[in-house]
Structure formats: structure tokens, C-alpha cells
């Protein structure tokens, strides 16, 4: 199975500043210009919500302050400027092969 390691496990960012979350895969999940890595946001008591698909493509309706980058084994989710409503846990997920796996999650607190 491909192991996704997220860092940090938690972070606190001041309102209006930047939050950066990393996801490292145990093997490459990219081929050509496609990276099979996706990002989700989960607020307490809610299901995950798709934010970013294929590493850098913003899902429809997601605010432009969210962005994703990376390829191969190293990926990043950036949120800038952070808002109060961004308080949540963020997960990366690959779809390179079965089984699909998720990172362990990063809990974001807004100061």
C-alpha cells in the first residue's frame, strides 16, 4: 500500500496568515502531467469535502485562497489568507492504485 505521511499533525495560524500542509507519498503518484493526489477538508461532525483534485486543480465552489502543488512524492496544500471558517482537519488521498489511502490528517486551528 502507498503510505501518505502528512505534516504537521496540527498547526495554529493567525487569521489572515498562510497555512502550509505537506503530504509525502511512499512512492510516486504522478505520471506525465498528472498527479493522482487529492485534498479534502473535514469539519467536526461533517463528512470530508473535496478541495483540490489532481494536486493543483481547485474543485468548483472552493475559495481561491486554497491552492495545491507538487508532483511525484511531495505535495502541498496552501491556504492564504486563512479565515476562521478554515478551522478543520485536512487530508490528502491518492488514487494511484488500489487500495486508495489517506494521510493521517492535519488539524488546523486559527489563532
Show the binding pattern over residues 19-58: x = contacts other proteins (CB under 8 A), - = does not: -----------------x-x-x-----xxxxx--xx----
Nearer to other proteins, 48 or 72 (CB): 48
* Residue 49: C-alpha distances to residues 40, 58, 89 (Å): 5, 12, 11
C-alpha to C-alpha distance for 13 and 32, rounded to whole angstroms: 35
Contact flag: residue 104 with other proteins (CB under 8 A): yes
For residue 104, cis peptide bond before it (omega within 30 degrees of 0): no
Minimum gap (Å) between residue 49 Cβ and other proteins: 7
User: Residues 61 to 90: which contact other proteins by CB under 8 A?
Assistant: none
C-alpha to C-alpha distance for 32 and 71, rounded to whole angstroms: 10
Residue 59 gets which letter from DSSP? P
> Which position among 59, 74, 76, 78 is part of the footprint of other proteins (CB under 8 A)?
59
Residues of this chain that interact with other proteins (CB under 8 A) are: 1, 36, 38, 40, 46-50, 53-54, 59, 91, 93, 95, 98-105
Amino acid at each position: 500500500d502507498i503510505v501518505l505521511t502528512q505534516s504537521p499533525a496540527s498547526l495554529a495560524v493567525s487569521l489572515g496568515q498562510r497555512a502550509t500542509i505537506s503530504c509525502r507519498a511512499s512512492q510516486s503518484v504522478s505520471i506525465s502531467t498528472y498527479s493522482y493526489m487529492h485534498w479534502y477538508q473535514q469539519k467536526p461532525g461533517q463528512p470530508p469535502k473535496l478541495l483540490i483534485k489532481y494536486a493543483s486543480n481547485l474543485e468548483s465552489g472552493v475559495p481561491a485562497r486554497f491552492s495545491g502543488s507538487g508532483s511525484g512524492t511531495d505535495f502541498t496544500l496552501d491556504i492564504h489568507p486563512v479565515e476562521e471558517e478554515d478551522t478543520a482537519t485536512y487530508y490528502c488521498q491518492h488514487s494511484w492504485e488500489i487500495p486508495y489511502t489517506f494521510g493521517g490528517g492535519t488539524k488546523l486551528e486559527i489563532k
